[in-house]
Structure formats: structure tokens, C-alpha cells
Structure 1
Amino acid sequence: MSDERERSRRGVLRTAAGVTLGAGIAAGVPAGTAAAATAGKGEGEGEARKPGPVEVAVLLYEGFTALDAVGPYESLCRVPGVQVTMVAVKAGPVLTDTRDMEIVATKSLRQVPRPDVMVIPGGGGAGMYAVLENTRILDWVRRAHRHTLWTTSVCAGAAILGKAGLMRGVPATTHWALRDYLKEVGAIDTPGRFVESGKIITAAGISAGIDMGLYLASRLSDERVGRALELALEYDPEPPFGTGSPGKTDAGTRTLALKLLADAAP
């Protein structure tokens, strides 16, 4: 595609999006902050929200799984009145679990001590084990959780919430291969693409972060915005094999799936 045609295509998309979004706001679609102020209640209940956009912090750490972070990001970054920021112990590029992709954290944990929404992705390999022993990250998760409207995880991110001591007695889900771990941290293993319990929302494996993100988008605004974002992302899965959950396949496929995940995350 030529540069001129690409600029034209982007201009059409921006124009269409601007007209549609402007019409939605004029028709009463909330800007995000009002709805979010009455969202998930927890330890921070009753505290006044700081003015400005709803701040969503997506935690990055060495060895996180890319789609765990990017799925919720794409679901939330276009919600009116919401600002999504990638954060890490230090600002800068962070390697994913496959070690061949980086995503930039634009702020450090110190710069975002009290996000309104916290998204904790899962990971693989040595990076996942390391983060479970990283006191700086675990302390940040605990402190931030006291003030969040929503505390969320994707896939093995539930293990991080569990290690931080936030999952005891909480109905939750995670990747199908890790669900026994939920019992170890005192959570209540609950099947589902995502599970909401108070202000904690946990998503199942990897791609389920998109489902959770779209639902969270509706809670930070309203269902109309959630529906529109699902369409904007053209999130209409038709998987080619129908083997997307362990109950729909055989033992050999499950074993191979785990091997492929392990081999890709040294």
C-alpha cells in the first residue's frame, strides 16, 4: 500500500471514529470517570477519586505474556475518559516470555502508586517464577489494591495476586493448567472466561484477557460502549479447530499445548 493510500485510509478511520464517538457522547455516553467512580468497591470504598482520567496500569515484568497485556490494553485504551499506561519496576522496554519481543513501559511503578485499575498479566518460564519473588512488585500490587476501583489479572497473573495475599476466599479463574494453584493460595476455583468477585476480576488463559477487558470497559463506561468496542475490535472469534478449552480436546493435544508453551518461554 502506498504512503498516500495509507494516509487516506487512516484519515477515513479517524473521521469515522470521531463522528461516531462524538455522536455517542452527545447522546449521553459517559466519559468514563463518573461510571468508574461507583465501580468495584473494596478497601478503598468511600475515598474520593482524584480528578482526571481513570488511570489503568498494566504491569509489565521480564517474562510476561504479550497478549495477556495487549488484549486488555486494546479493549480499554479507547474507552472515553480512560488512560491506559504500561508500567514496570523501571520505565523502558520489557521482554516477553518468548524473549523475542519487547513492549515499552512508559512509567515506573513509583510513578503510578495508586492506579484506579490494575491489570496483572501472566507469564512463563523463569520470568514468572522471578516475579513471584519480586518484593518490589508484590508490595506495589498490595499497596495499589487498597485504592483501586478494580484489580484484575489475566491467566497466570492470578498467581501474582495470590502471592500478594489478595486471593484468599475469592472466587477466581486462571489458565486451565494452573487452576490447582488457586486452591494453594486460598482462592475458590471458579470456571469461566472471567470471574468477577467484588472489585477483583480474574480472566482465564491469555486470550480471555480480551473478554475481561471488554467487560471492564462496560463497567468503566456503560454497556453501549462495551458493545461498540467489541465491534470496533471486530472481536468475533471463529477458531479453526474448536479446541480452545481442555474439555473440548484430548489428552495428547493438552500435553502438546503445555509443551509448546513451556518450550517458547525458557
Structure 2
Amino acid sequence: MSLTIGFVLFPNLTQLDFTGPLQVMHRTPGATTHILAKTRDPVPSDCGLGLVPTGIFAEAPQLDLICVPGGLSVVEAMQDEETVRFVARQAEHARWVTSVCTGAFVLGSAGVLRGKRATTHWAFTDLLPLVGATHEPGRIVRDGKVITAGGVTSGIDFGLSVVAEVAGPEVAQTIQLGIEYDPAPPFQSGHPSRAPAAVKATADARYAKARETYRAALGG
């Protein structure tokens, strides 16, 4: 089957939110991938890596799957009318409407998450009700055609799940093997439920200001 996939870029996004699922899903048989932004200018990521769009919002085809990555700068994206309008327009007819990390709040600003179960980066899950969503714990949460993934690296799991649905588990597993996705982290601190208390407190403090910025932007 053919599959038209589009990723939404905006300045200072977290590049792994985007490149993780991109690396997985572009390998799907029959997939065509579009990397979309407001203009064709390179888009800076939050780690200094420039990302080059393959197309612009105004010329994008109707997508089968739209994916919005996140990043601490997503507050600007969710207040950008052109970006939000594009996501809302594509979401009407896309088969899957998806996000990774705080990209969920762009979906929320586009009205996509109202009445939906969803997830996002652990530091921001309490803000999901501000866009009409109910937080459901999970690395990947699906509610109808809306699929949201947790923070950053969960985008790889999300990508493999989508491939399994589109092309079957064997294809997804072949891609997983091809990219040698065989996680063996040196520490069991990748989620607040497992991180030591001191580590969690330090990480949580680093997100405190961003949480309040998001909350203000969402009217909470």
C-alpha cells in the first residue's frame, strides 16, 4: 500500500522527536515522506542541527499520517496560526494524526485532542486537560485515529507500532533489526516511576519554568 507521511517542523524542536520516527517510518514499503515547514529555509533544532524541509505547508498534499514533534519551544508553535491551521486542516482527512513528546500541545491547539486520551512528555502530562485531553499513562496512547507518544525516544516505539499496523509485524521487526533498536540503557532512570528521588527532583526542577510558560500559553 502507499502511505503519505508528513512531519511538521518548527524552530528549536527536539530533533530526536522528529528523526527517531522518521528513521523508522521512511523505511516502510510504499511510504513517501514529506518534511514540512512554513518556508523552505533550514529549521534550527534545539541542539544546533539544522533541518531542511522538503516542502512547505501551502503546497503539501493530503497526508495519510501527520506527525508533530515536540520540544521546549513548542509553545511558539502552538501559538503560530499558520502552523496550527495546517495541522487542523490535515487532521480532518488524515488516517492517523500523531505527535511525539510535547507536540501533543500543537495537536491540542488545533482542536484534535478534545475528548481524547493522550500522553506527552512526563513533565507536562498534567497540562493535557487544558487542551481537552485526558492523560493516559503509557509510552504510546491511541484513541481512534489519534496516536500520541511520550517523551523523545518514545517516537521510535511509536514509529515501529505504526509500521506494524500499516505493513505488518514482520516488516516492523525487520526495520527494528535493521536499525539495531535493542535498548539496554546504562541506568533505569528513564521514567519518573523508576528514577531515584534526587534525579527526579533535579529533572523536575529543570522543567518547572517551561511548565508555567506552557500553562500560561494554554490559558491555565
Q: TM-score, normalised by structure 1?
A: 0.75
Structure 1 unaligned residues grouped into runs of 5+: 1-32, 34-52
1:78-157 paired onto structure 2 within 5 Å: 78-98=27-47, 100-124=48-72, 127-157=73-103
Q: What is the CA–CA distance in structure 2 between the aligned matches of 1:199 and 1:151, rounded to whole Å?
A: 6
Question: Quick one: percent identity of the two aligned structures?
Answer: 36
Find the structure with the greater CA-based Rg. 1
Segments ≥4 residues shifted beyond 3 Å: 258-263
1:137-216 paired onto structure 2 within 5 Å: 137-216=83-162
SS of 2:33's equivalent?
strand
Q: Conserved in 2, the CA contact under 8 Å of 1:155 and 1:203?
A: yes
Q: What is the CA–CA distance in structure 1 between the aligned matches of 2:139 and 2:88, rounded to whole Å?
A: 24
SS of 2:127's equivalent?
helix
Q: Conserved in 2, the CA contact under 8 Å of 1:92 and 1:106?
A: no
Amino acid at match of 2:7: V
Give CA deviations for 1:76-135 in whole Å, capped at 9, x if unaligned.
Answer: 01111001121101123100123x2111111101121421110100011xx322111100
Please state if 1:60 is matched with 2:9. yes
Q: Conserved in 2, the CA contact under 8 Å of 1:59 and 1:119?
A: yes
Give CA deviations for 1:37-95 in whole Å, capped at 9, x if unaligned.
Answer: xxxxxxxxxxxxxxxx4210011100110000001101101111001121101123100
What is the aligned partner in structure 1 of residue 19 from structure 2?
Answer: 70
Amino acid at match of 1:120: V
Q: What is the CA–CA distance in structure 2 between the aligned matches of 1:166 and 1:151, rounded to whole Å?
A: 8
Give the deviation of 1:262 after TM superposition: 8.6
Amino acid at match of 2:45: T
Q: TM-score, normalised by structure 2?
A: 0.90
Aligned length: 209
Amino acid at match of 1:107: G
SS of 1:87's equivalent?
strand
Amino acid at match of 2:82: R
Give CA deviations for 1:181-237 in whole Å, capped at 9, x if unaligned.
Answer: 112111111011101111111000000000000000112211111111111111110
Q: What is the CA–CA distance in structure 1 between the aligned matches of 2:206 and 2:61, rounded to whole Å?
A: 36
What is the aligned partner in structure 1 of residue 170 from structure 2?
Answer: 224
Structure 2 unaligned residues grouped into runs of 5+: 210-220
Q: What is the CA–CA distance in structure 2 between the aligned matches of 1:255 and 1:88, rounded to whole Å?
A: 36
More off after superposition, 59-68 vs 217-226:
217-226
Give the deviation of 1:257 after TM superposition: 2.7
SS of 1:105's equivalent?
coil
